[in-house]
Amino acid sequence: MDKKTLDELRRLARAAGLRGYSGLRKKQLIELLTKQKASSPAASTPKAAKPTPARGKSALRTTTVRQPAQKTVPQVPAATAASAEHLANTEQHIESAKFEMAPPGSGHVSSASIAVSIAPDLHEDIETLPAPSESVLCLLPQKPGVVHAYWALQSGAPIKELRLRLCRMSGNAIELMSEIEIANSRGHWYFQVGESQQPGSLVAQLGSYDASGAFVTAIRRGVARIPSLYASAQTDRRWWISDDEFREMYVRAGGVTRGEQLLWPGSFSSRQR
Amino acid sequence: MDPKGYLALVLHAHLPFVRHPEHERFLEEDWFFEALTETYLPLLDVFERLAHDGIHFRVTMSLTPTLLSMMTDPLLQARYLRYLDERIEALAHERQRTAHDPYFHPVTRFYTDLYTRLRQRFIEHDRMDVSQSFRRLMEAGHLDIITCGATHGYFPLLAVNEESIYAQLSMAVRTHERILGRRPRGIWLPECGYKPGVDRILKEFGIDYFLLDSHGLLNADPRPKYGVHRPVRTPAGPAAFGRDYESSKQVWSADEGYPGDPQYREFYRDAGFDVEAPHIEKLRHAGVRTFTGLKYHRITGKTDWKEPYHPGWARDRAAEHAGHFLFNRQQQVNWLSSSFDRPPVVVAPYDAELFGHWWFEGPQWIDFLLRKLACDQQDIRTITPSEYLDRFGDLQSAAPPECSWGAGGFHEVWLNGSNDWIYPYLHAAAERMSALVQRFPDADGSLRWALDQSARELLLAQSSDWAFIMKTATSVDYAVRRFRTHLHRFDRCATMAESGHYDEGYLREITARDSLFPDMDYRIFQTRPHR
């Protein structure tokens, strides 16, 4: 890490979800990153319950997780990488400019408070939105490595001892990846699943453990797939391109630089031989 | 002689549906009026002059259904005229105020000419309906106009209910055909948000192609032989074109891109905040300062101090930048064509509002670029994706991954701590709408009215703009208010349909306000195209 530039270290900190690092010197940043790596992976800011470890006899078979193939990441000049993140934010900033009506720092005004009405007030209570008519559980991929789950239980449904589980299905096996305790009848959670993995199909289960320790599913929701960060390892025979040509074309087309902009740790994989 | 390669310039023009007849004037309606003044009308000027001068050019534009709806709305047309008149009046006073100022007086004259010309063309040439001017350019063969989601709903996060995707596409295709006279061949997916399976639904609507960010093609499976420089055929059949990173960077980038040049107009300095005078105060909304569009300064540099704007210097710079861009595209196409066995296409998509609204000289840059392309070289020619497919349609098949062109490349912009709360409501509403369609396959009278309005309100709630604004924090209060209002109205209309008890007074009021898609048919919310 000593060999990395300050900009590169800041990018790593950002990718690791750390905060408050912008004022740190290089040495302090390295310490922070080392500490973060040593501790267990943190979940994103919790909105609902804290995670508890899976317990009881599990009817699931665990499968070993294959390590990803060795990735070759073509070198990107430090200057390009540093401006990469800037570009991503610039595009979004420009896109949002069509909604800007004042310079930054001048505060935003709600039109609702200043517009003069010339029609009858419809007395719409927009603060109260309809409650769910049935219990729901939903999985939405947010980005590689992160999947969002939300649940809404019908009022009156018991929530004691309820757990939300995220599982991976590969073939016939279901592997438990993460589990949290539910404390509210409505809520959501961001599961971190690790972007280097290719997790296959993800399934969410809401339920509880019975007396014998088996998990009884109340609501199940599948299947979500986490989108991949990486280029395909497959080549079409009719539209054949060699590894080297593809790598060169990928870099030239901005694949790696664009991946850097999007804060991907690596966006190119070489085919296993 | 055939060119070595092609440039597909794609401009995505979109604004959410903002129309408030219940108020005399409304701050957020200015989004549309500003975009008309600085982007849509200037682009029309550029394209019409090129056509008049006999210059060959091809540009693709997406005009979203909500934008088309606003362009054709009589209330908004009248309010736009009022917007222009108010500025022309203010400028008369501005010219007086700056009569002895050799630096700012020419800028006020510049704006006076500009607004006066715009007003004249809007009334006499466009006849208040700008959509038809775009249509004429399309019919003359210069522009290809493609569609977008009906209310710019973000497909990957709505796809939990496939009916929503069908509804967004159904209303889009209908609206496009109703206002522009023909079905669209291509689509700009909202935010280029793609999920495998969307290709199948697009095919059902007769859509031949769509666009993706670069990683949508580069990470397709199997590996695309030509990277982003030729489209691929998705599993269901429609072609996917990929954004060229190089040409994007040259325009979008704050460090390396053109719009940050010191000669160009400064976006954040506006008479609304700089000038204290009664005639400027008149332009405020209920006494609150906002941008007026009268911006008198140039960027000057990375300083707080800004020099007066000089239109002539800015224009010269736009010409230089157009030449620079063309030169780089020539280099690029020469290199690509030397290793390709088929002609490459450089796809350069941008938000239309980047040109003119954010980058004031943008339309001039496009003008210079298209003229230089046509007259100064033969390596590259402009093309539309449709034409490219017609001429070079032997494409590699590949499956693009789930992706978007938003920051991060996936869905984070529309699904994060600031806006994730909206999805349970959107999904539940879509399920409820779908159940209503199944329960009432053939409604009429008040039932039909309530069901149609439910569908309208749900589509409006699905606009990805609300989630985007919540994330980027420009007008969060307004976005939240809009989302909640449309959900509330959906709930009340759906309840009327379910119960058989109708509040016709309320229905009449909200139909008059949320008035887009006059040919609405609630049955678009089902998992097949509804004709």
Six token digits for residue B507: 């229905």
Name which of A91, A240, A252 is nearest B407 (Cβ-Cβ).
A91
Instruction: Band the pLDDT of A257: cuts 50, 70, 90.
Output: low
Does a structural domain hold residue A129? no
A253 and A176 share one domain: no
Task: Using CB atoms, pick whichever of A95, A115, A228 lies closest to residue B401.
Answer: A228
Q: Can you tell me the distance from the alpha carbon of B478 to that of A252, in angstroms, rounded to the nearest whole number?
A: 42
Domains of chain A: total:
3
Indicate the SS3 state at residue B403.
Answer: strand
**Are residues B476 and A108 in contact, defined by beta-carbon separation less than 8 angstroms?**
yes
- Helix H or strand E segment including A216: strand A215-225
What is the pairing mode between strands B143-148 and B186-188? parallel
Test mutation, B410, B425, B514, chain A, max A CBs within 10 A: B410
Inter-chain CB pairs, A–B, below 8 Å: 263
Residues of B in contact with A230 (CB under 8 A): 219
Contact B318, B201 (CB under 8 A): no
Q: B164 near B153, Cβ under 8 Å?
A: yes
Interchain contact, A228 vs B484, CB within 8 Å: no
Whether the per-residue pLDDT at A66 is higher than 60: the answer is no
| Distance in angstroms (rounded) separating the CA atoms of residues B465 and B459 | 12
Tell me which of B152, B219, B241, B464 to substitute to probe the interface with A (most A C-beta atoms closer than 10 Å).
B219
Identify the CATH class of B422-524.
mainly alpha
Alpha-carbon distance of A174 to A197, in angstroms, equals 16
Model pLDDT for residues A132-184, shown as the tens digit of each residue: 788 899 999 999 889 999 998 877 777 778 899 998 887 778 889 999 998 88
pLDDT at site A82 = 43
Mean pLDDT of A201-212: 88
Q: Do B25 and A95 touch (CB under 8 A)?
A: no
Residues in A touching B223 (Cβ below 8 Å): 231-232, 234-236, 241, 246
Nearest CA in chain B to A151: B424
* Mean local confidence (pLDDT), A73-84: 41
Alpha-carbon dihedral angle through residues B349, B352, B355, B357, given to the nearest 10 degrees: -150
Orientation angle between helical segments B245-252 and B311-339, nearest 10 degrees: 170
Residue of B359, B481, B477, B383 whose CA lies nearest to B3: B383
Two tokens at A106?
């001048």
Query: Taking 50 as the threshold, does the pLDDT of residue A273 lie above it?
Result: no
Contact B420 A122 (CB under 8 A): no
Of the partner residues A97, A106, A115, the one whose CB lies closest to the CB of residue B23: A115
Q: A64 pLDDT exceeds 70?
A: no
Give B 207-266 residues with CB within 8 A of chain A.
213-215, 218-229, 244-246, 249, 252-257, 259
Whole-structure pTM value: 0.88
Residue A63 resides in a domain: no
CB under 8 Å, gap of 24 or more: what pairs does B333-342 form? Answer: B333/B3, B333/B4, B333/B5, B333/B6, B333/B7, B333/B379, B333/B380, B334/B4, B334/B379, B336/B5, B336/B229, B337/B4, B337/B5, B340/B226, B340/B229, B340/B230, B342/B226, B342/B230, B342/B392, B342/B394
Q: How far apart are CA A170 and CA A161, in angstroms?
A: 28
Measured between alpha carbons, how far is B165 from B156 in angstroms, rounded to an integer? 9
- Report which secondary-structure segment, H or E, holds B92: helix B74-97
CA gap B87, B33 in Å, rounded: 12
Cα separation of B128 and A9, whole Å? 55
Interchain contact, B27 vs A111, CB within 8 Å: yes
For residue A216, pLDDT over 70 is answered with yes
pLDDT reported for residue B498 = 97
In a domain, A239, yes or no: yes
pLDDT of residue A131: 82
A131: nearest CA partner in chain B: B425
Is the separation of the CB atoms in B476 and B469 below 8 Å? yes
| DSSP code of residue A230 | S
pLDDT of residue B321: 97
Q: How many CB atoms lie within 10 A of CB A117?
A: 11
The verdict on a CB contact (< 8 Å) between B218 and A235 is no
b/e burial code for range B454-493 (CB count within 10 A of at least 16 → b): bbbbbbbbbbbbbbbbbbbebbbebbbbbbbbbbbbbbbb
Residues A148 and A192 in one domain: yes
Looking at the structure, do residues A213 and A250 belong to the same domain, yes or no?
no
Q: Tell me whether residues A110 and B273 touch, CB distance under 8 A.
A: no
- What residues in B contact A189, CB-CB < 8 Å? none
Asked whether residue A143 is domain-assigned, the answer is: yes
Whether A180 and A235 share a structural domain: no
pLDDT (0 to 100) of residue A50 = 35
Contacts of B401 in chain A (CB under 8 A): 227-228
The H-assigned helical ranges of chain A are 6-15, 26-38, 78-96, 111-114, 243-252, 255-261
Cβ–Cβ contacts within 10 Å for residue A3, how many?
Answer: 5
In angstroms, rounded to a whole number, what is the distance separating the alpha carbons of residues B358 and B259?
Answer: 8
| Closest Cα in chain B to A229 | B219
Per residue in A17-42, pLDDT (tens digit) is 565 666 677 777 777 777 655 543 33
* B505 CB within 8 Å of a chain A CB: no
Look at residue A260 and tell me if it is in a domain.
yes
Q: Which of A69-78, A97-106, A135-144 has the lowest mean pLDDT?
A: A69-78
A192 domain-assigned: yes
Q: Are residues A221 and A273 in the same domain?
A: no
Q: Please indicate, yes or no, whether residues A215 and A141 belong to a single structural domain of this protein.
A: yes
Chain B closest-CA separation from residue A231 CA (Å): 4
Distance (Å, whole) CA B353 – CA B339: 35
**What sign does the CA torsion over B84, B90, B94, B95 have?**
positive
Sequence-distant (6+) residues with CB within 8 A of B137 are B44, B47, B48, B51, B143
Is the model more confident about A253 or about B423?
B423
Inter-chain CB proximity B408 and A88 less than 8 Å:
yes
Are B223 and A138 a contacting pair at CB < 8 A? no
* Residue A14: predicted pLDDT: 63
Provide the 3-class DSSP secondary structure of residue A33: helix
Q: Which of A146, A152, A227 lies closest to B402 in CB terms?
A: A227
Provide the residue ranges of all domains of chain B, joining segments of one domain with +. 5-72+129-265+309-391, 422-524
Whether A124 is covered by a domain: the verdict is no
Nearest CA in chain A to B351: A95
Give residue B113's pLDDT: 98
Nearest residue, CB atoms, A90 vs list B15, B214, B254:
B254
Lowest mean pLDDT, pick from A74-78, A228-232, B80-84, B467-471: A74-78
Minimal Cα–Cα distance from A62 to chain B, Å? 28
Q: Is A39 left (phi over 0), alpha (psi -120 to 50) or beta?
A: beta
Q: Which one of A85, A95, A128 makes the best mutation probe of the B interface by having the most chain B beta carbons within 10 Å?
A: A95
> Which residues lie closer than 8 Å to B111 by C-beta, 6 or more apart?
B87, B91, B94, B294
What is the span of the domain harbouring residue A248? 229-273
DSSP per-residue codes, B438-456: HH-TT--HHHHHHHHHHHH
| Closest chain B CA to residue A100 | B474
A216 and A250: one domain? no
Q: Which two tokens stand for residue B494?
A: 């759906």
Which pLDDT band holds residue A265 (cuts at 50, 70, 90)? low
| Interface mutation target, options B225, B431, B436, B514, chain A, most CBs of A under 10 Å | B225
* H and E: helices and strands count for chain A: 6, 7
Cβ of B468 within 8 Å of Cβ of A95? The answer is yes
Q: Cβ–Cβ of A253/B245 closer than 8 Å?
A: yes
Pick out chain B residues at pLDDT < 70: none
Q: What are the chain B neighbours of A117 within 8 Å (beta carbons)?
A: 22-23
Task: Tell me how close the Cα of B102 comes to any Cα of chain A, in angstroms.
Answer: 26
Beta-strand relationship, A163-170 and A201-209: antiparallel
Q: What is the length of chain B?
A: 531
For the record, the structure tokens of B278 come out as 């009664």
Determine whether the interchain pair B160/A140 forms a contact, defined as Cβ–Cβ distance below 8 Å: yes
Within an 8 Å CB–CB cutoff, is residue B392 touching chain A? Answer: no
A213 Cα to chain B: minimum distance (Å): 31
CB-CB under 8 Å, B291 with A102 = yes
Residue A104 lies inside a defined structural domain of this protein: no
* B368 vs A: CB within 8 A: no
Residue B222 is nearest to which of A100, A106, A235, comparing CB atoms?
Answer: A235
**CATH architecture for residues B5-72+129-265+309-391:** Alpha-Beta Barrel (3.20)
Q: Which residue of A97, A130, A258 is in closest CB contact with B357?
A: A97
> Chain A contacts of B416, Cβ < 8 Å?
142
User: What residue has token string 């049955």?
Assistant: B523
* Token digits of residue A133: 């008519």
Q: What pLDDT, on the 0 to 100 scale, is given for residue B297?
A: 97
- The whole-number pLDDT of residue A44 equals 31
Nearest to B11 by CA among B43, B49, B56, B50: B43
Say yes or no: B308 contacts chain A, CB-CB below 8 A: no
Looking at the complex, report in whole angstroms how far the Cα of residue B6 sits from the nearest Cα belonging to chain A: 16
Chain B residue at shortest CA distance from A223: B160
Higher-scoring residue by pLDDT: A70, A198: A198
